[in-house]
Amino acid sequence: MDFFEYRNGELFCEDVAVADIAAKAGTPVYIYSAATLLHHYRAIEQAFAELKPLICYSIKSLANLSVLRLLAQAGSGFDVVSGGEIARALAAGGDPSKIVYAGVGKTDREIREAIAAGIGTFNVESEAEFENLARLAAEAKRTVHAALRVNPDVDPKTHRYTTTGKKETKFGVDIERAERFFDRYGRDEFARLDAIHLHIGSPIYSADPYVEAIRKTLDLIARLRDKGFSVTALDIGGGFGADYEEHRSPAAVQYAQQIVPLLRGSGLAIILEPGRQISCNSGLLVTQVQYVKQGGERNFVIVDAAMTDLIRPALYEAQHFIYPVRLGEGVPVPQRKMDFAPPAGTKVDVVGGVCESSDFLAKDRVLPPAGRGDLLAVFSAGAYGFVMASQYNSRPRPPEVLVEGDAWRIVRRRETYEDLMAGE
């Protein structure tokens, strides 16, 4: 579900023609729909309403301040993984007590800043980190809340680079070690270990791995409570799928149907950390065709966006649906599916201008005929899009635009050559 649609052969974001934004803001450009962001946030809120969860939007998926402000105003907390993300959350008006802070490599500086800011929960990923947190909290004479991130050893059946809840990952501690962890640290005076955190991977296209992970964790919590530890909260992490491929991902309500009954009556405060389900199909990357070229058997559509703007295809072999912004004569409105092959289309690779063979946005994709100057929309690019953009090949990063109804504004300007050299 999103607020991008074709009207009379032209792609609109809410009530703004995408081509108008591209004409004024230039290309490549990221375009986000405020209504879509809020729709997905509210869908999760409603689906899990019975548990009254704290929803901590995962900043890493799309971190623009204007987007964070929108979500903070809707009541969202934030999931962060660095001092920089904490700074963003606070700058966007986020409530520090609604921030959960994960990450295996928190530095002393980051921990001190987080303690000073009054961060809600530190999601602790190792014994060494807990000891450091306890030391720094004692030094600051501040009580902090900590959740132990456990690996329930569940296979989320997603890309190996985004699988995080199996035994062999660097994240969290094995669930078997959790009791010993509580025995050792569960009565610390300054770092109150009173919650469990899970994040088993992403995107996860079924509620089943969550069910398995939560069941194992509830058993653990029961054992901890039997030992007299007070476990008051369970953070089930992020990873809900999004529609890169139409109808593949369950909706929030489908995850909730299986998860809510497990947690009902548990006496636990529930935290969710959705990222991409909120941000993924709230954003487009719009790019302009520069050249069309044949190389051996292959047809290349060379565009002005590249792996530096959207690295997911190169990094995760991710599939993003791509289609013209303006539909030419006889080009149908797409069924938004990866396997939608328009009649009279040609199989092409959509590639950027970066000097790497892994620089592609799509491979072997059937697209309507595209020529120099045409605009293409890369869909479902809101999550892990701009946030992973780089300046490799000295390419200034693109601007970000936020659309609200019939209004739009640049919420991050295009970088300049001066920006590229500013810190040198």
Catalytic machinery residues: 355
Q: What is the helix (H) or strand (E) element at residue 134, kind and residue range?
A: helix 127-140
Q: What is the helix (H) or strand (E) element at residue 148, kind and residue range?
A: strand 144-151
Distance in Å, CB of 249 to ligand PLP, minimum: 11
Distance in Å, CB of 268 to ligand PLP, minimum: 18
Distance in Å, CB of 285 to ligand PLP, minimum: 17
Nearer to ligand PLP by Cβ, of 273 and 309: the residue is 273
Nearer to ligand PLP by Cβ, of 61 and 121: the residue is 61
Distance CA 191, CA 133 (A): 7
Closest CA to 188 of 138, 147, 226: 138
Distance CA 21, CA 17 (A): 7
Count Cβ atoms below 10 Å from residue 47 Cβ, excluding itself: 21
Nearer to ligand PLP by Cβ, of 100 and 327: the residue is 100
Nearer to ligand PLP by Cβ, of 238 and 399: the residue is 238
CB closest to ligand PLP, residue no: 275
Structure tokens that stand for 210 in this block: 């969550």
Contact 174, 127 (CB under 8 A): no
Distance CA 99, CA 105 (A): 17
Distance in Å, CB of 387 to ligand PLP, minimum: 10
Nearer to ligand PLP by Cβ, of 141 and 160: the residue is 160
Q: Which residues bind ligand PLP (CB under 6 A)?
A: 58, 60-61, 79, 102, 199, 202-203, 237-240, 273-277, 383
Distance in Å, CB of 113 to ligand PLP, minimum: 19
Between the alpha carbon of residue 305 and those of residues 111, 287, 317, 357, 390, the distances in Å are: 37, 6, 17, 15, 12
Q: What angle do CA 113, 117, 119 make, to 5 degrees?
A: 100
DSSP-derived secondary structure letter, 197: E
Structure tokens that stand for 266 in this block: 């548990």
